Every structure is written in C-alpha cells, then in structure tokens.
C-alpha cells in the first residue's frame, strides 16, 4: 500500500511556512549538499542568494536558475529583507556573513537543520550508513521517478538520470541522504529509513566506534514509530544501533534469516543478478546495471524502502535494473588509445577495496593503476593501516598530497602522503608519492598502455587527473 501521511506529518506540512517568496541566503553555497538545497528552494519559489570562496560551474548553474551568487564572503553579501541564513558544516563561527546575520537578528541554521525542515513537509525516506548513501538514495529516487511517483530528493552526488543532485517533485515522498558527520542526521525525522553499514569514520568528531554506533542508534530512534527502519542484517553494528528504534525493523543481506535477501547471486563481467526474496518468498528477479557485489546490498536496502513506499515488485525490479549510477561512482571518463579511465569518490578503506574489486571484475584490465588522493589528514592518520591494506587489487598506486579540509594546521604535522606510501609498500604493494597532479599525469602518459585501467579516487579534486589524462592520451604522446 502507498504510504500515507501520518497526523504528525500532515501537521508539519500545514504548519510549515511556504518557501514561496521567502528570502534565503546560503553561506558555503558551492558544497554539494548546499547546492542541492539551494536548487530545491529555488524550485519551491524562494528568493535565494549565497556565497562561496570561489566560483564554479555548479554555481553558474544556480545563477542560471535565478540565484544571486557572490564569490568571497563579506557582510554585505546578505541582502536586505533576508529572512533565513543557512550555512554549511564547513563554515566557521567567525565567518563574516554568519556574524552579520546574527547581529541583524536573522534566523541562522545549519544545512542539516534546513534539510530536516524540508523533509518534515513530506513522507521522509532517509539513507544512512558509512558507505553507499549516495548510490542507494539515488537508486530509490530514480526508481520512484521511473514509476511515476515523482518524489522530491536531495542526493550527495549528481545523478544524470535525474538531471542533477536534487529535484522538487509533486509526490508526497522526500528522499535524502542522512549523513553522520557532526551528527547531522539527528535533524531528520523520516518515516522510512535504512542503515546500510557502520564503520569507523569521521574520527575528528567521534571519539571511537562506540560513539558512532550510539549516534546511529539515536538516528534509529528518530524514525517515526509508524514507519520502518531497514538495517543490514550482516552488520552487527547496524543491528546494535537499531535496538532502540521505535519503528518496525527489517533486515537485509545475503545471509539466511534476513527479511530481504538476495539468493542465487550471479554475475557476468561484474554486473550482478539475483532473486530478490522478502520473508523467504520470491519477490522479484533483479539484474543490476551497476558493477560490484557491494551494490547488491545497496539494491536490497533500496528495494525494502521502495516496497514500503508503495511500489510494486515489478516497478522495483525495473527501477533497480535501469539505474546506471551517480556521478563519481565508477564513472568512465573515456578510453583513449585503449586505456580505460575511471573516476570514483571512494575515500575510505572499505570503499577503496570494494570499488577496485568491482573494477577488476567489470573490465578485466591488463593492469589496474590507481591514483589515490587521501582526504583529510586526520582520516589518513586514524585509518592508516586500513588504507595500506586496501589497494591489493591494484598493480600500482600513485599518491599526491593529502587533500586538506576541516583539519587544523597542526594535524598536518602528524601524517603525510609519504607515510601512507611507506605503509602500502610494507603490505607488499607498489606505491609512489608524487607531489603534484602534473607530475602524476606526466608519469601516467609515459607508462600506461592499451588494456590498462586507470582509476582516480578520493573526495577531493583528484578527478582533474582523470580529465587531464584523457586529454593527454587524445593528443600525440608516445604511449607504450
């Protein structure tokens, strides 16, 4: 049965002040989530302005849609008549625009709180977990869109099949990622939710794994008691987090006993097909377009949410099978001169492992060469040994400087890319530190051959290496 709004959700929708005509200013507008909220607010009829440290094609798109965007952050960027200021998690309390808004008595909220307000006006579907949030949320939004359910959605990645990272739909549902960083997901009160997995990450804002599980447990407790929480039945930490849920709990996985199970799992060149079972009974036959065994788990979680949202088994199977992926998730940039060039967002050891394995299954390359840009000095330091073990599927790894974000300057003194390279070598891998992207591209142009696969990985700007390599291979270079 399609999900209907509960009395709480109806009250929230009626009580929420319409966004039409409201003047909203966004500090740090260039971030993926902030851009998505800005687009959604524009779609709702709000008058949107914002700022960021540098211009970008994404900000140009917001300008084309009617937003006013300033490069650089100054008091005067906040327009007269502004009613609400939204800031990203990366914005410091002493940011001049944030201080100016507070002096003027304008309401100031964090991005995650704004996301919660948008969700409160709908039947919320939230996707949480250390890995797979963007892909799973995009799967759900795409399948609902393909079935005619037209949800609103905010995804932490651009989704070509949906026209971008967000959309304002006419349906009652709102699909969003629920990010654990800084406990942001505790601003969400979804009706339907999933916890895909739980591992150590964001140890710059959590003391340890127990604290992370505790935060996920608090998130589980916020799922509406009239709703359903779907958890990975093979992740003991996810199961533990779900113990305090007020909502009904269902499990997914390949193991016997999971409510949503993939059976008779097979793959051809890395693309998986399986019989989807619910409660031990055949539900649908699913064939994924995405590569990788990890996407079977993502699809199981998505199927459970879609079922609770009212889609038929066939619509779910068609939606999952027709979904071709989100941007920077094993995205093929080109194959000049027989060298397959792929870009991926993986920046955690587990993500690296499963992605490299999936790429090897899918493309069966002669050699798999990885350019990995570590993201944050603190993450690299906390997870150093796990990172070092995660490149076993690659014949060679090139490591540039660590992408510096959020950490203190002091944190840079504790760890370097050379430390990661040394640990990879201790684990038997072939790794090399090259300081700049230019040096890496030059080396790759001299070394790659037809049949090789080159993947750039990381949450920073390492995709630039992939683009430069594609361009370079397309020119007259001596490639072995």
Query: Mind listing the pLDDT tens digit for each residue in 408-460?
Result: 888 888 999 999 999 999 999 999 999 999 999 999 999 999 999 999 999 99
- What CATH class has 122-322? alpha beta
For residue 15, the model assigns a pLDDT of: 37
Compute the average pLDDT of residues 17-43.
87
Which residues are within 8 A (CB) of 217 and not within 5 positions of it... i.e. 6 or more apart?
240, 241, 242, 243, 244
Higher per-residue pLDDT: 16 or 70: 70
The torsion defined by the Cα of 438, 440, 445 and 451, in degrees rounded to 10, comes to: -150
For residue 2, the model assigns a pLDDT of: 55
The whole-angstrom separation of Cα 255 and Cα 241 is 19
For residue 19, the model assigns a pLDDT of: 83
Question: Is residue 59 within a helix (H) or strand (E), and if so which, with residue range?
Answer: helix 57-64
Instruction: State residue 307 phi and psi, 5-degree precision.
Output: -60, -45
Compute the average pLDDT of residues 260-281.
97
Model confidence at 476, pLDDT cuts 50, 70, 90, reads: low
Q: What DSSP letter does each residue of 81-105 carry, written as one string?
A: T--EEEE-TT--TT-HHHHHHHHTT
Model confidence at 5, pLDDT cuts 50, 70, 90, reads: low
The whole-angstrom separation of Cα 478 and Cα 463 is 23
For residue 12, the model assigns a pLDDT of: 43
For residue 10, the model assigns a pLDDT of: 47
pLDDT at 13 over 90: no
Compute the average pLDDT of residues 338-361.
97
Q: Three-state SS across 170-235?
A: CCCEEEEEECCHHHHHHHCCCCEEEECCCCCCCCCCCCCHHHHHHHHHHHHHCCCCCCEEEEECCC
Reading the block at residue 368, the tokens are 């798999």
The torsion defined by the Cα of 21, 24, 30 and 33, in degrees rounded to 10, comes to: -90
- In 3D space, the residue among 249, 183, 175 whose CA is nearest the CA of residue 215 turns out to be 183
- Mean residue pLDDT of the chain comes to 92
pLDDT at 31 over 90: no
pLDDT at 54 over 70: yes
Higher per-residue pLDDT: 227 or 182: 227
For residue 173, the model assigns a pLDDT of: 96
Domain boundaries, the chain: 20-110, 122-322, 331-474
What CATH number does domain 331-474 carry, 3.90.190.20, 1.20.120.80, 1.20.1640.10, 3.30.70.270? 3.90.190.20
Neighbour tally for 182: CB within 10 Å: 17
Compute the average pLDDT of residues 139-164.
94
From 57-66, 307-316, 347-356, 428-437, the region with the lowest mean pLDDT? 57-66
Query: Mind listing the pLDDT tens digit for each residue in 452-465?
Result: 999 999 999 999 99
From 13-27, 88-102, 235-249, the region with the lowest mean pLDDT? 13-27
Model confidence at 32, pLDDT cuts 50, 70, 90, reads: confident
Model confidence at 479, pLDDT cuts 50, 70, 90, reads: very low
Cite the beta strand spans of 375-458 per DSSP E: 396-399, 431-433, 452-457
Query: Mind listing the pLDDT tens digit for each residue in 207-253?
Result: 999 999 999 999 999 999 999 999 999 999 999 999 989 999 999 99
Higher per-residue pLDDT: 56 or 215: 215
The whole-angstrom separation of Cα 200 and Cα 258 is 24
The sign one gets for the Cα dihedral 212, 460, 289, 350 is negative
The whole-angstrom separation of Cα 159 and Cα 165 is 6
Which residues are within 8 A (CB) of 239 and not within 5 positions of it... i.e. 6 or more apart?
231, 232, 233, 251
Higher per-residue pLDDT: 406 or 141: 141
Residue range 20-110 in CATH 3.40.50.720: yes
Compute the average pLDDT of residues 392-415.
90
The whole-angstrom separation of Cα 341 and Cα 119 is 37
The whole-angstrom separation of Cα 260 and Cα 334 is 36
Which residues are within 8 A (CB) of 100 and not within 5 positions of it... i.e. 6 or more apart?
75, 78
The whole-angstrom separation of Cα 190 and Cα 125 is 6
Compute the average pLDDT of residues 29-44.
87
> Model-level pTM?
0.89
């Amino acid at each position: 049965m399609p999900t209907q709004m509960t009395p709480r959700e109806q009250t929230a929708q009626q009580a929420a002040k319409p966004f039409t005509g409201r003047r909203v200013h966004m500090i740090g507008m260039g971030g993926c989530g902030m851009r998505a909220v800005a687009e959604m607010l524009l779609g709702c009829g709000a008058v949107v302005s914002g700022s960021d440290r540098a211009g970008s094609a994404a900000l140009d798109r917001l300008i084309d849609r009617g937003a006013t965007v300033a490069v650089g952050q100054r008091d005067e960027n906040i327009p007269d008549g502004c009613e609400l200021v939204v800031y990203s998690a990366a914005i410091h309390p002493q940011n001049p625009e944030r201080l100016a808004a507070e002096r003027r008595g304008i309401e100031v909220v964090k991005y995650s709180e704004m996301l919660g307000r948008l969700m409160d006006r709908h039947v919320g579907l939230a996707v949480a977990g250390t890995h797979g949030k963007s892909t799973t949320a995009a799967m759900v939004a795409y399948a609902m869109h393909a079935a005619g359910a037209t949800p609103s959605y905010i995804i932490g990645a651009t989704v070509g099949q949906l026209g971008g990272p967000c959309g304002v739909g006419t349906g009652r549902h709102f699909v969003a990622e629920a990010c654990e960083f800084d406990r942001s997901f505790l601003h969400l009160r979804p009706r339907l939710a999933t916890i895909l997995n739980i591992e150590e990450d964001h140890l710059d804002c959590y003391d340890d794994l127990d604290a992370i599980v505790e935060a996920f447990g608090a998130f589980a407790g916020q799922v509406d008691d009239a709703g359903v929480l779907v958890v990975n039945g093979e992740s003991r930490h996810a199961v533990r987090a779900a113990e305090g849920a007020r909502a009904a709990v269902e499990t997914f996985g390949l193991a016997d006993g999971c409510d949503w199970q993939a059976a008779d799992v097979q793959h051809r060149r890395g693309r998986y097909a399986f019989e989807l079972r619910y409660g031990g009974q055949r539900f649908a036959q699913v064939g994924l377009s995405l590569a990788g065994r990890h996407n079977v788990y993502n699809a199981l979680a998505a199927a459970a949410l879609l079922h609770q949202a009212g889609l038929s088994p066939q619509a779910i199977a068609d939606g999952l099978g027709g979904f071709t992926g989100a941007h920077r998730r094993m995205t093929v940039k080109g194959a000049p001169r027989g060298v397959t060039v792929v870009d991926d967002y993986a920046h955690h050891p587990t993500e690296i492992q499963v992605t490299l394995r999936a790429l090897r299954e899918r493309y069966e390359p002669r050699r798999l060469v990885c350019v990995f840009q570590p993201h944050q000095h603190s993450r690299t330091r906390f997870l150093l040994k796990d990172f070092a073990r995660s490149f076993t599927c690659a014949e060679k790894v090139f490591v540039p400087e660590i992408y510096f974000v959020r950490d203190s300057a002091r944190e840079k003194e504790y760890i370097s890319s050379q430390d990661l390279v040394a640990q990879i070598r201790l684990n038997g891998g072939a790794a090399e530190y090259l300081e700049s992207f230019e040096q890496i591209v030059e080396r790759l142009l001299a070394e790659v051959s037809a049949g090789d696969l080159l993947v750039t990985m990381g949450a920073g700007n390492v995709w630039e290496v992939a683009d430069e390599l594609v361009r370079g291979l397309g020119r007259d270079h001596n490639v072995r």
